[in-house]
């Protein structure tokens, strides 16, 4: 069925202006070009042209995931809460999960590990049943506290989510690698400039994960990258900073009065202590138990690193009452020596074996100096706990790190057995033993692909689609179609010719002034515009304009089809 894509009939409501609070270029253009309309905060309707682009992206996703052996499912958004309780994720998701009010026991699924594991548990019972890659392209619901940037962060969004089932860890590695490559192919095909970073698994659990990122000021993630190839999400990024180390003098530990020093900056300023020889103490409560974290000078604690060390995300900074109860002092005078109670102390790697350090005396208004971590304190646990900073040498080759903002387009995880353990999804291995299925999960935000593409491909006039994503192959701009029968006929001829050659063509047959038509054509951004006007037509010619380059050429009416064909077969 060929759809009538004459603009006089086809619903593409373009706009000259959008409300002032639309900030991102891609958001603005998606609204102006009639691709989407907002229905509620974080909830969008996709209009016909936007929907076509969505389907194009989905097809690219489908082709790639099919080619690595994916089998497409369509899983329900309504889920029984029971399976989520099995994995303890009702609590872990918290407010992010939508709960159905008038039907107990149903939730709206924010992701689908549980459903997949449920079906795997039913039917995948032998190592012979694996490997499997199951996937779907479907709508997710997340009660985001703050939806933003148009379609980039919504409460309802479409995700391509894939899950691998393996009987061995080697199998998982293989499936993970296949997805890595498929994801690169997908974003390359879409024409999106991206980079990959090592990432934190967060509440998803698992042992390894990587994110596919697009650099953008609108991004919500910070990434540490260097030109030589190091790339990591700031949540997990490390750097090669020299440890604090030892000084020659071997002085005895000594208390001294610091009545006006409440911060590291004060110590540095008032007592001329080098910043890196101050050991900062931060107290957190984990499961109602205090823990002291020692950091170098004004280094910042990285809570994501802390989370993976503690193995839980349920912790918080201690209150001032708790500080006094457990350490004996208020914030600003806390340290590892002379603690009031026996509590767990962990320290950043940079402080290991250091001496000549200054830290709080756990007595308001006093600090110790000449602290030797090898002599005066007994700290068994040293970890990488700091948030790295711009310019530090990367851990691979020492090239300086740049920190950039980025949008997360895709994320691949080695889940391991977290879900299969929790839900009892086991199989019989060749050795006759029952084992948990080894899983991976792999997601791409479909709307984000489109927004990021536009973010990288527009000018002041509108969108610039490439061959892969463009909603239409050609855009016929008929000038003065109302008055000129010749123009009308030429347009119709072209339109039918292109359509019957399977080239999706939109035809602007509206009775509008030329300016409106040219501007809408540039706004919609179809790669090839064919301008049909009576002046050129008098010479049997039409004008072809390439949206990307702006190049315009005159060709004979009967050559236009060939030009369009040539463009798409190149």
Partner RNA sequence: CGGGGCGUGGCGCAGUCCGGUUAGCGCGUCUGGUUUGGGACCAGAAGGCCGGAGGUUCGAAUCCUCUCGCCCCGACCA
Q: Which residues bind RNA (CB under 7 A)?
A: 14-21, 23, 38, 40-42, 92-94, 96-97, 110-111, 142, 144-149, 202-204, 220, 303, 313, 411, 461, 479-480, 482-483, 511, 513-516, 518-523, 531-537, 543, 545, 552
Which token pair is 9?
A: 């009939």
| Smallest separation (angstroms) from RNA to the CB of 269 | 26
| Smallest separation (angstroms) from RNA to the CB of 430 | 34
* 3-class secondary-structure state, position 509: coil
How far apart are alpha carbons 117 and 115 in whole angstroms? 5
| Smallest separation (angstroms) from RNA to the CB of 492 | 17
Of residues 18 and 343, the one with the C-beta less far from RNA:
18
Q: What is the DSSP string of 253-304?
A: PEEEE-TT--SHHHHHHHH---GGGBEEEEEEEETTEEEEEEEETT-EE-HH
How far apart are alpha carbons 395 and 404 in whole angstroms? 17
104: Cα within 13 Å, side-chain hemisphere: 0
| Smallest separation (angstroms) from RNA to the CB of 15 | 5
Sign, CA dihedral 418-421-423-427, equals positive
| Smallest separation (angstroms) from RNA to the CB of 513 | 4
Which token pair is 14?
A: 């373009």
- Whether residue 52 contacts residue 36, with contact meaning beta carbons closer than 8 Å, is answered with no
Of residues 148 and 493, the one with the C-beta less far from RNA:
148
Of residues 12 and 68, the one with the C-beta less far from RNA:
12
Of residues 307 and 372, the one with the C-beta less far from RNA:
307
| Smallest separation (angstroms) from RNA to the CB of 363 | 30
| Smallest separation (angstroms) from RNA to the CB of 368 | 31
Of residues 63 and 308, the one with the C-beta less far from RNA:
308
- Whether residue 346 contacts residue 293, with contact meaning beta carbons closer than 8 Å, is answered with yes
How many residues in the chain?
Answer: 570
- End-to-end Cα distance, the chain: 27
Enumerate residues 6+ apart whose C-beta is below 8 A from 453: 190, 191, 192, 466, 469
Of residues 145 and 432, the one with the C-beta less far from RNA:
145
Of residues 99 and 402, the one with the C-beta less far from RNA:
99
For residue 340, count other CB atoms closer than 10 A to its CB. 13
Sign, CA dihedral 213-144-105-423, equals positive
């Amino acid at each position: 069925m060929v759809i009538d894509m004459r603009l006089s009939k086809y619903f593409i409501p373009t706009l000259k202006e959008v409300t002032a609070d639309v900030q991102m270029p891609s958001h603005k253009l998606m609204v102006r070009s009639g691709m989407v309309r907002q229905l509620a905060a974080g909830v969008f309707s996709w209009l016909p042209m936007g929907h076509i682009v969505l389907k194009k992206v989905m097809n690219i996703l489908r082709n790639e995931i099919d080619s690595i052996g994916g089998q497409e499912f369509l899983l329900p958004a309504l889920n029984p809460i029971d399976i989520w309780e099995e994995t303890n994720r009702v609590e872990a998701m918290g407010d992010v999960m939508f709960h159905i009010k008038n039907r107990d026991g149903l939730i709206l699924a924010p992701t689908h590990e549980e459903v997949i594991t449920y079906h795997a548990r039913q039917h995948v019972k032998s190592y012979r049943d694996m490997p499997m890659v199951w996937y779907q392209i479907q709508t997710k619901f997340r009660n985001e506290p703050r939806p933003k940037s148009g379609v980039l962060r919504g409460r309802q969004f479409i995700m391509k989510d894939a899950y691998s089932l393996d009987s061995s860890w080697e199998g998982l590695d293989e499936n993970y690698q296949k997805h890595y490559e498929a994801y690169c192919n997908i974003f390359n095909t879409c024409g999106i400039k991206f980079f990959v970073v090592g990432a934190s698994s967060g509440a998803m659990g698992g042992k390894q994960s990587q994110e596919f990122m697009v650099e953008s000021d609108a991004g919500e993630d910070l990434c540490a990258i260097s030109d030589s190839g190091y790339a990591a999400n700031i949540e997990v990024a490390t750097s090669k900073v020299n440890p604090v180390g030892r000084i020659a003098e071997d002085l005895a530990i000594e208390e001294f009065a610091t009545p006006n020093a409440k911060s590291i900056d004060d110590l540095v300023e008032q007592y001329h202590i080098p910043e890196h020889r101050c050991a900062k103490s931060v107290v957190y409560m984990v499961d109602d138990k205090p823990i002291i974290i020692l950091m170098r000078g004004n280094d910042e604690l990285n809570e994501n690193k802390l989370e993976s060390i503690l193995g839980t995300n349920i912790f918080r900074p201690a209150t001032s009452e708790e500080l006094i109860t457990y350490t004996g002092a208020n914030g600003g005078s806390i340290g590892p020596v002379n603690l009031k109670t026996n509590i767990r102390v962990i320290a950043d790697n940079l402080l290991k074996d250091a001496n000549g350090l200054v830290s709080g005396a756990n007595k308001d208004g006093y600090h110790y100096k000449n602290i030797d971590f090898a002599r005066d304190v007994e700290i068994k646990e040293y970890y990488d706990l700091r948030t790295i900073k711009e310019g530090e040498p990367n851990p691979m080759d020492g090239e300086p790190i740049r920190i950039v903002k980025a949008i997360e387009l895709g994320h691949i995880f080695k889940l391991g057995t977290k879900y299969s353990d929790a839900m009892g999804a086991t199989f019989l291995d060749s050795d006759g033993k029952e084992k948990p299925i080894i899983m991976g999960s792999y997601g791409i935000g479909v709307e984000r692909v489109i927004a990021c593409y536009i973010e990288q491909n527009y000018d002041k006039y509108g969108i610039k689609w490439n061959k892969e994503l463009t909603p239409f192959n050609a855009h016929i701009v008929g000038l003065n179609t109302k008055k000129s029968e010749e123009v009308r006929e030429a347009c119709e001829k072209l339109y039918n010719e292109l359509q019957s050659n399977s080239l999706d063509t939109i035809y602007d047959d509206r009775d509008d002034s030329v300016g409106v038509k040219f501007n809408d054509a540039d706004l919609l951004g179809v790669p090839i515009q064919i301008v049909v006007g009576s002046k050129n037509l008098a010479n049997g010619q039409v004008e072809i304009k390439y949206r990307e380059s702006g190049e315009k050429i005159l060709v004979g009416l009967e050559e236009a089809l060939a030009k369009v064909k040539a463009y798409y077969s190149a």
